[in-house]
Amino acid sequence: MHISWLGTTAIRIQGKLQSEDVIVVIDPYKPAQGAFPRSLTPHIGLYTRGEKDSITLSADPFVLNSAGECEVKGVLVTGVQGHTDESVMYRIDMKGMSVAHLGLTNKDLNKGQIDALSGVDILIVPFGHKDAYDAVQAVKAINAIEPRVIIPMAFQSDNDPDAAPVQTLLKELGAPDKTAEKKVIFKKKDLPQEDTEVVLLEKE
């Protein structure tokens, strides 16, 4: 499974299923500033806060923007109701691995959200944006879900220069400062078994 960060809460996940590369794109919203793809060609497009302000998704992907469950091309997607009627969090099960994406939120997770998302392998958590968690809140959400891998998103970048830098979260987590990576490949057998690992993605 490949995961890359496109900016703010936009994430691209790619996995090979039955000899076909399947691409999932989450939150392809056009930012007010900074670099961002003009169009994307995923098989699945997921939105955590509606489709307004999205860039073009080519190739007629399956789109989900509400709570519910569906399976597309061997990928099981579970949409979990967010803190407002319009917001959704997602759990994605692909290639024997699970990923949770919390969208853009600064509210503590409720019981239903924790029940649906807890124990995922990889948690993509929003931090730094004015509408995202601060470091203490982010750690609280991480502890509630107990993932094996943490990937921060929505921190300071050219799309949001006023957001908090990711180092603030790393310090709160007690993690060493890291070099960001463009794209990370995850394999089930290589996931950490004991300690939770923080993976820092460089914005594409």
pLDDT score, position 42:
97
Question: What is 104-158 written as a DSSP string?
Answer: S--S---HHHHHHHTT-SEEEEEBSSTTSB-HHHHHHHHHHH--SEEEEESSSBT
Identify residue 65 by its one-letter amino acid code. Answer: N
String of DSSP letters for 155-198: SSBTTBTTSPPTHHHHHHHTPPP---BSEEE--GGGS-SSS-EE
pTM score, two decimals?
Answer: 0.97
126 CB neighbour count, 10 Å cutoff: 26
Output the pLDDT for position 146. 96
Across the chain, mean pLDDT equals 96
User: What is the DSSP-derived secondary structure letter of residue 203?
Assistant: B
Instruction: Please tell me the distance from the alpha carbon of residue 102 to that of residue 106, in angstroms, as a whole number.
Output: 10
pLDDT of residue 1: 95
CB 48 within 8 A of CB 89: yes
The predicted structure's pLDDT at residue 14: 96
Domains and CATH numbers, the chain: 2-198 (3.60.15.10)
Contacts by 133-136, CB closer than 8 A, 24 or more apart: 133/105, 133/106, 134/106, 134/164, 135/164, 135/168, 135/169, 135/171, 135/172, 135/173, 136/172
- Note the pLDDT tens digit of each residue in 141-195: 999 999 999 999 999 999 999 999 999 999 999 998 889 998 899 999 999 988 8
Q: What is the mean pLDDT of each run of 10 residues along the chain (204 residues)?
A: 97 92 97 96 97 95 97 96 97 96 98 97 98 98 97 98 97 92 91 93 95
> How high is the pLDDT of residue 18?
82
Q: Are 25 and 42 in contact (CB under 8 A)?
A: yes
Structure tokens at 187: 């394999």
State residue 171's pLDDT score.
96
15 pairs with which residues across the strands?
22
